[in-house]
């Protein structure tokens, strides 16, 4: 094998974020940069704990349940505390919403200009089997005149200024948008740095993979059933392949890279679906649109939905724009 020298001009996440800040010139205060640096560190720390979980007795339940009535895993609680502490300490965050905490967290005495919403460890039902999990986050700028309160987060996803996720899998990947396309970074553990490995991610306009929990089919509404039938029994005899991990971060990551559609619909049992608007649906919809895809509730663009409460849910169909348009057409006929 020919010797190939290692790259000598690495673009780290820090370098990438700083260069985006520099490109904004004097308009940029550097506050978002510092906030994202905080998220970068929490991602590394959570990644390290997820990797060692089995060895240091971090698997299993913590013994409490969260606001959704779900049992909290030890790693859910740990990841939440890591994020709350790091973001509070950044001095740039005035208000936070975490999947694991009932009320919005107001950072006392903070002059932070941003609000951060997050699911510290999504897909935690997969943790004990060593399957991919992830952190999802979204960032709003606190409104002028506000000192940071609940009204700063009860806003549609289209007002987010940044969003992303970190996936803890066979590699640790951080995928980020600040409204200027989507870039993906891979953690080089020997350097302790996220390196730009997936610049300017673009979703193909049409894919060949669908990702739904079809175990809920009994409850699905007609448009969802019709859509799934259309891709499983197509006229061209080329059915889509099924891939469903049950970790939104992993299912969306594959969808961003390979194309296709991920769906968690509303149904007769769950009238708003399962996924939480603020810290699951909005960040993923923002990333998907920035990568050239689409994200809808069935009838409406997800980023236009106005949340009524901080843990509210909404149906999600996201991915390749032609695939999502097919779902939307079926919902439009049904409405």
Site residues (vs ligand AHM, CB under 6 A): 70, 99, 119, 122-124, 213, 246-248, 251, 264, 274
Please answer whether residues 157 and 146 qualify as being in contact, where contact means their C-beta atoms are separated by less than 8 angstroms. Answer: no
- The minimum distance between CB 1 and ligand AHM, in angstroms, equals 40
88 binds, among ligand AHM, Mg ion, none (CB under 5 to 8 A by kind): none
Binding Mg ion by CB under 5 A: which of 31, 100, 119, 152? Answer: 119
**Which two three-digit tokens encode residue 99?**
């999947």
For residue 5, the minimal CB distance to ligand AHM (Å) is 40
* Cα 178 to Cα 49, 61, 201, distances in angstroms: 27, 35, 13
The pattern of x and - marking residues 120 through 159 that bind Mg ion according to CB under 5 A reads --x-------------------------------------
Is 76 among the residues that bind Mg ion (CB under 5 A)? Answer: no
Short-list 326, 320, 292, 290, CA closest to 207: 320
Total count of residues recorded for the chain: 335
Residue 149 interaction partner, one of ligand AHM, Mg ion, none, beta carbon < 5-8 Å per kind: none
With H, G, I as helix, E, B as strand and everything else as coil, classify residue 133.
Answer: strand
Q: Is 267 in the site for Mg ion (CB under 5 A)?
A: no
CB count within 10 Å of CB 176 equals: 26
Residues facing 164 on adjacent strands: 137, 176
Min dist CB 296 to ligand AHM, Å, is 16
Residue 124, binding choice from ligand AHM, Mg ion, none, Cβ under 5 to 8 Å by partner class: ligand AHM
256 contacts 284 by C-beta, under 8 angstroms? no
Q: What is the distance between the alpha carbons of residues 156 and 178, in angstroms, rounded to a whole number?
A: 16
Specify the residue, 134 or 207, whose C-beta has the smaller distance to ligand AHM: 134
> Closest residue to Mg ion, Cβ-based?
122
Closest to Mg ion by CB, 122 vs 289, is: 122
Encoded tokens for 91: 């001095």
Q: How far is the CB of 294 from Mg ion (least distance, A)?
A: 22
Residue 193 binds which of ligand AHM, Mg ion, none (CB < 5-8 A, kind-dependent): none
Which residues lie below 8 Å from residue 241, measured CB to CB, with a gap of 6+?
A: 208, 209, 210
Q: Which of the listed partners (Mg ion, ligand AHM, none) does 189 bind, with a CB threshold of 5 to 8 Å by partner kind?
A: none
DSSP 177-190: ESSS-EEEEEEETT
Residues interacting with Mg ion, by CB under 5 A?
119, 122
């Amino acid at each position: 094998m020919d010797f190939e020298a290692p790259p000598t001009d690495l673009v780290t996440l820090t370098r990438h974020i700083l260069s985006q800040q520099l490109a904004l010139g004097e308009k940029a205060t550097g506050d978002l940069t510092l906030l994202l640096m905080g998220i970068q560190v929490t991602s590394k720390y959570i990644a390290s704990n997820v990797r060692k979980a089995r060895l240091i007795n971090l698997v299993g339940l913590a013994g409490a349940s969260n606001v959704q009535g779900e049992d909290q895993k030890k790693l859910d609680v740990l990841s939440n505390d890591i994020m709350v502490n790091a973001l509070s300490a950044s001095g740039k965050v005035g208000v936070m919403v975490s999947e694991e905490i009932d009320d919005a967290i107001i950072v006392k005495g903070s002059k932070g200009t941003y609000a951060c919403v997050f699911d510290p460890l999504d897909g935690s039902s997969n943790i004990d089997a060593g399957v991919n999990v992830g952190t999802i986050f979204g960032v709003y700028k606190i409104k002028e005149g506000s000192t940071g309160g609940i009204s700063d987060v009860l806003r549609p996803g289209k007002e987010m200024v940044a969003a992303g996720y970190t996936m803890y899998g066979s590699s640790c990947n951080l995928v980020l948008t600040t409204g200027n396309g989507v870039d993906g970074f891979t953690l080089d553990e020997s350097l302790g740095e996220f390196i730009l490995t997936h610049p300017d991610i673009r979703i193909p306009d049409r894919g060949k993979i669908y990702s739904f929990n079809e175990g809920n089919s009994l409850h699905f509404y007609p448009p969802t059933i019709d859509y799934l039938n259309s891709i499983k029994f197509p006229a061209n005899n080329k059915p889509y392949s099924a891939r469903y991990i049950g970790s939104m971060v992993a299912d969306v990551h594959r969808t961003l890279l390979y194309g296709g559609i991920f769906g968690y619909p509303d149904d007769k049992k769950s009238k708003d679906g399962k996924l939480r608007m603020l810290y699951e649906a909005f960040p993923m919809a923002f990333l998907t649109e920035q990568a050239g895809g689409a994200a809808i509730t069935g009838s409406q663009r997800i980023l236009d939905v106005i949340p009524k409460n901080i843990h509210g849910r909404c149906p999600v169909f996201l991915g390749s724009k032609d695939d999502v348009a097919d779902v939307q057409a079926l919902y439009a006929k049904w409405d």
